[in-house]
Amino acid sequence: MSSSSPGIEPAGTVDVPRADGRKRVLLAKPRGYCAGVDRAVIAVEKALELYGPPVYVRKEIVHNRHVVETLRERGAIFVDETTEVPEGALVVFSAHGVSPMVHAEAAERNLKTIDATCPLVTKVHKEVNRFAKDDYDILLIGHEGHEEVEGTAGEAPEHVQLVDTAEDVDKVTVRDPSKVIWLSQTTLSVDETMERVDQLRDRFPGLADPPSDDICYATTNRQVAVKAMAAECDLVIVVGSQNSSNSKRLVEVALKAGARASHLVDFSHEVDEAWLEGVTTVGVTSGASVPEVLVMDLLAWLDKHGYSDVDEVTTANEKIAFALPPEIRRAEKAK
Ligand code: SF4
């Protein structure tokens, strides 16, 4: 995996302040919203402004309870499938992407669509198409049942095999071991993915690498930041939802990197006071679909519990932003 991406400035050597006995918080940076989530949430907000409610959204626009509830209050209706959307209505596809079959279903029902798929997920879809066209067997490392994986695999189901667990590696069969490539979901643990790749390569030494990293800059950066501070932390609290892959990975990465304990919470009121027993340093971070207001709420809660000193641990400064979906840009121009 590469260590830097366009639009990201490495922060240089990271200086993690050492504990001096006082209760304190180490706050990871980068954390929270990534460019793909920001774009998807704004796409739904703009759709509500431009067309008025209701705006249908297939699946959760991003995996965050607070974001979904807030948009629901403003008139978004979340559905599981396009078949639940009335003929001819407007539907937004989520940041996780959809398969060509979903696009076809929407066209059949005359739905107006806004595609908020993150451009970095679209990039992986394009890779699947390119390698399927060249008749490769594609080993897609990802979590079974995750929406992103369903959309990506759906680009060329006859060429793609999903590899989730170590056991899956043994089950893979390929037609020509010299024409095999691995690709991945964008929100995995970088370290675990490379373990899976090594296992696959033991079986298929000719396994080709993706043309560029599929695990996105935001996932990687949030893991690097939490790793930098984890060993200093008695407890790491990750703000994020249970169905958010990248948020769950942050808990795992924190524990592996030396945090004594780590928990995932959607809201500060979910923090159990018992977690703070004997804790001097609390690490705080948030997943890529988490608005900063939820982190601020947590810091206020910690402040009330005696953790008032906050030191930010910065491992990169992100400057990435994506243009809004073309359907929104066109509608705004026509206003
Ligand atoms: S986590 Fe990465 S792939 Fe997912 S929306 Fe954010 S930038 Fe895009």
Task: For 69-102, write each residue's pLDDT tens digit.
Answer: 999 999 999 999 999 999 999 999 999 999 999 9
* Mean pLDDT across the chain: 95
The fold for domain 120-203 equals Cobalt-precorrin-4 Transmethylase; domain 1 (3.40.1010)
How much is the pLDDT for 11? 58
Span from the CA of 229 to the centroid of ligand 1 (angstroms) = 23
Where along the chain do the CATH 3.40.1010.20 domains lie? 19-33+216-318, 120-203
How much is the pLDDT for 73? 98
The fold for domain 19-33+216-318 equals Cobalt-precorrin-4 Transmethylase; domain 1 (3.40.1010)
Pocket residues: Cβ below 6 A from ligand 1: 34-37, 95, 118, 120-121, 186-187, 216, 218-219, 246, 288
pTM of the model: 0.94
Span from the CA of 117 to the centroid of ligand 1 (angstroms) = 9
Measured N-to-C along each axis, helices 35-51 and 65-73 cross at an angle, to the nearest 10 degrees, of 10
Domain 35-118 in CATH 3.40.50.11270? The answer is yes
Structure tokens at 127: 């890779």
Task: Write the DSSP string, 161-202.
Answer: EEE-SHHHHHH---S-TTSEEEEE-TTS-HHHHHHHHHHHHH
Span from the CA of 218 to the centroid of ligand 1 (angstroms) = 6
Nearest CA to ligand 1 atom 2: 216
Nearest CA to ligand 1 atom 8: 36
- Say if residue 186 carries a ligand binding annotation: yes
312 belongs to the catalytic site: no
